[in-house]
Structure 1
């Protein structure tokens, strides 16, 4: 064996050589570890950015939905309040002596009794966020407000159904007492051309008629309360989304 070969074998087995190899391996491992951590950090930052941008788009879309709801609710509230006044006038008229009845006014008010202005919500954005899980992009307080609005919406729509049911329960009785052809003409702003008869035979017929009209009025009043509560939540939620 040559002197150089012997020297190489000696160096390979030396503690200095082993330490140098260990340092080299450790340095490579450390650099790899840093690269992985940096990769996770960059990916996390990218996901955070995407979520923030998506949240902005979703918030704006929901604001637009809520603005449409707000307008629809304001119109529905105005309609129900006007309807309540007309029903009040109708009940007062029916309770007065029949000799003083204004038949045309009775028909006009009855037409309004059967008219509805149901609130149709624009909830596409919220439904999308709920189904896709993107509600997590928003803080919990804001999500709670969104959920509260949705829960109130269920109550509001239920009340609309109750009002419609009360109106339908009035129809069979009203059909025996008044001429629906006339109410149909008046509903579309036409002049009444058909016979405006009132077939109220006795006090029992009249009391039942007034009672069922009053039920419609009562249910409409409860629906009005839900509309106002819905409107308040819509305004508050719009403000919260604008401030986020």
Structure 2
């Protein structure tokens, strides 16, 4: 027995107590468990913050889209009326000069130069894109947000072409009409200035009609983009409301 005890003592490293190993293991396990639990709690906290932030952002974007929707509906009505008025104006200019109504021509020109630019309310989307909070939303919803933004770029580009077409018409129209009169009419005032038409020949008239047609064409394209933008707005509103 003495020899057996000596053998056991020889196997035990000096300064080590075999009875302390379970204690070390238990302490390590408790520390590991505390770390895992801490990560879990932190992840839950972050997930809660993200969910709450997503609700606030979704509501803010809904409000932006509702304003866009209202403005788009008004812009569509405006451009549809403008298309009709320009078509009537072109028909008037192509009729015999003896039938021209100078006042009607001036009234039509005020419509040609009237605009209803769509100014989007995109602050929420821009903020989410720059801050990285788009990740709070389902990818399919993010895709719809991005599609709306991409369409917005096309819509604003078409608006810029309408404005360019109108400005290219200005120099010619300025030599043919009294712009003070069109300015008064545009703001709903009764004309007080002299009205005149200085269309000397058919070439001048053809050039005048051609430049007006450019504005009409560009306005028609803007109308298409407005309708496409409105369709996407309605789809995105529906998706945000049902999320």
TM norm structure 2: 0.93
Counterpart for residue 78 of structure 2: 79
Q: Take 1:83 and 1:211, find their aligned partners in 2: how far apart are those partners? A: 17
Secondary structure in 2 aligned to 1:37? helix
Counterpart for residue 215 of structure 1: 214
Counterpart for residue 4 of structure 2: none
Counterpart for residue 124 of structure 1: 123
1:65 aligns with 2:64: yes
Which aligned pairs between 1:195-210 and structure 2 lie closer than 5 A?
A: 195-210=194-209
Which aligned pairs between 1:114-153 and structure 2 lie closer than 5 A?
A: 114-153=113-152
Counterpart for residue 20 of structure 1: 19
Secondary structure in 2 aligned to 1:196? coil
State the 1:102 CA deviation.
Answer: 1.1
State the 1:18 CA deviation.
Answer: 3.8
Counterpart for residue 3 of structure 1: none
1:187 aligns with 2:182: no
State the 1:19 CA deviation.
Answer: 3.9
State the 1:132 CA deviation.
Answer: 0.4
Q: Take 1:18 and 1:108, find their aligned partners in 2: how far apart are those partners? A: 105
Counterpart for residue 36 of structure 2: 37
Counterpart for residue 176 of structure 2: 177
Q: Take 1:107 and 1:191, find their aligned partners in 2: how far apart are those partners? A: 12
Secondary structure in 2 aligned to 1:193? coil
State the 1:243 CA deviation.
Answer: 1.0
Between the two proteins, the alignment pairs up a number of residues equal to 231
Q: Take 1:20 and 1:113, find their aligned partners in 2: how far apart are those partners? A: 96
Secondary structure in 2 aligned to 1:117? coil
State the 1:194 CA deviation.
Answer: 1.2
Q: Take 2:211 and 2:174, find their aligned partners in 1: how far apart are those partners? A: 13
Taking only aligned residues, the RMSD between alpha carbons, in angstroms, comes to: 1.2
TM norm structure 1: 0.93
Q: Take 2:23 and 2:46, find their aligned partners in 1: how far apart are those partners? A: 35
Secondary structure in 2 aligned to 1:63? helix
State the 1:193 CA deviation.
Answer: 1.4
State the 1:60 CA deviation.
Answer: 0.4
Q: Take 1:155 and 1:187, find their aligned partners in 2: how far apart are those partners? A: 28
| Structure 2: gaps (5+ residues) | 1-8
Q: Take 1:194 and 1:30, find their aligned partners in 2: how far apart are those partners? A: 93
Counterpart for residue 4 of structure 1: none
Q: Take 2:189 and 2:241, find their aligned partners in 1: how far apart are those partners? A: 46
| Structure 1: gaps (5+ residues) | 1-9
